[in-house]
Chains A and B, each alone.
Chain A
Amino acid sequence: GQQVQQSPASLVLQEGENAELQCNFSSTATQLQWFYQSPGGSLVSLLSNPSGTKHTGRLTSTTVTKERRSSLHISSSQTTDSGTYLCAISTNTGKLTFGDGTVLTVKP
């Protein structure tokens, strides 16, 4: 079945530093979404980016479909960015398969 690998598993930054999160997947993805989950909180969709580069605020996602990888860049990290970032893909089925996530901690 589809597999989604995220790296690093955890990341600790000082406020103001940039973060780079990686997502690799085993099947061709027709849909790719990045989600954010605060500790004990719900999943919030950040970006939908099956191919190319997309920006929203301090977030930039770049997906190279034929290489089966996507990245999420967070610029000028803030303490409120702390939480888990999840990558999820679907392959023409509609349902998303999730990676295990990257736990980001931003220290003041």
Chain B
Amino acid sequence: SQQGEEDPQALSIQEGENATMNCSYKTSINNLQWYRQNSGRGLVHLILIRSNEREKHSGRLRVTLDTSKKSSSLLITASRAADTASYFCATSERGSGNTGKLIFGQGTTLQVKP
């Protein structure tokens, strides 16, 4: 079952602006990951944040994790037209028998206008 809920479902911004996407989940997790998908094909891994981490940076990406609220956010700063894509959060659930399978959200479609 899909446990991730992402908002907004769609986001349109001008190049140079910041884009913020949010993800909520329901169960206890080992980690949360963000992926990007272009043109409905393969996913590209962006960043992984562990359950004991609160914030992580990678280039223009900033991810936060609030386990008390079971939520995460992805911030893309100084956006570029090339950032146009769908962004998905995915959680790896904690618990016995955890296989590391990922539970994906429905995704946020980001459009960056030049």
Q: Do A and B bind each other?
A: no
